[in-house]
Amino acid sequence: MQTLQGIQYLRAVAALAVVLFHAAERSGVNFAIGAAGVDVFFVISGFIMAVISHRRPQTAGAFLKDRFLRIAPVYWIVTSVMIFGAAAGFFPNLVLDPLHVLGSYLFLPVPSPNSGALWPVLVQGWTLNYEMFFYGSFAATLLFPQRVRLPLLALTFIGLVLVAGLMPAPPLWLNFYGAPLILEFLAGVCLGRLWMRGRIPGAETGFGLMVAATLGFATIFILNLPFGTWICGPLALIAVIGILSLEREQTLPNLPLLSYLGDASFSIYLWHTLAISVVVKFGALAGLGGWLLAWTAGIAGSVLGVFAYEAIERPFQHLLKHGRLSFRLPHRQTAK
């Protein structure tokens, strides 16, 4: 699939929002709305999978293999760094439990011995547990004719949410996989179908949608309003529709740095908390605090993510695809 620059821009913004959310949280200031970057990621993920499966039909097995090799190796590397770091005493607050560690490697929601929450060793990896569930569900639909794939996926995800919501005390696994968050993947898949059929609004409508989404997120942040999936999910969907509308009409500006950060967004997402922890610890000792510490930690987390992208993710992906390592930046092509 050739690159859609607008999607890259949104991936970059979503990743940086999550980074600043974690940096602010550790620095004692509020940027809770940054967590909505996850909602944007989920909509984008559904959209990309729908477009890929349309443009490059695959068997269920081939699809799962591609997704697994894209996500698992780098995630396992970061998880292993956390585990060995904890064993060596670098993360004294991280309690290791064999079952929890195994669940972390297998993308399964196992209660953490640290908090009881369904978080893996690398806390932000909880989103990848949802990603893998979505990939598995999406791959299962590939076993059926094209016309029934989306209805089957919709029936599965909506059914899970309804059952989990109606049960007075759903089991942990159902409470996790039946969270309304999974509907954001479904919304992205529906949007991907519309994109492939050319049923996307024009640039003027797209610009209006982008403004509406930005104002929505900004209002939540400025007024410190409560929010959740039912608010951020639609705002994320509106933002993705808006950027795709501008993409379709070729009205997006060329922003190489933002596009590059979109490429690096997965590594930024995975690695940033390690740098944030170090900066916050030493920043506090140096008397830093508030937004100054948050921005410093956020920048450090982003820089570490970019370094990991260049040193680990990109060479490793090149090795998997071409059988050899490469540290050269590839020539990029943009297509609509």
- 269-285 pLDDT tens trace: 999 999 999 999 999 88
Q: How many CB atoms are located within 10 Å of the residue 127 CB?
A: 18
Helices vs. strands in the chain: H and E counts, helices first: 14, 0
Q: How many CB atoms are located within 10 Å of the residue 238 CB?
A: 20
* DSSP label of 329: P
Give this prediction's pTM. 0.94
* pLDDT confidence bin for 333, thresholds 50/70/90: very low
- 123-175 pLDDT tens trace: 999 999 999 999 999 999 999 999 999 999 999 999 999 999 999 999 999 99
Give residue 328's pLDDT: 56
Alpha-carbon distance of 258 to 237, in angstroms, equals 20
SS3 at position 128? helix
Q: What is the mean pLDDT of residues 308-335?
A: 70
Q: How many CB atoms are located within 10 Å of the residue 99 CB?
A: 11
Cβ contact 237:187 at 8 Å: yes
SS3 at position 104? helix
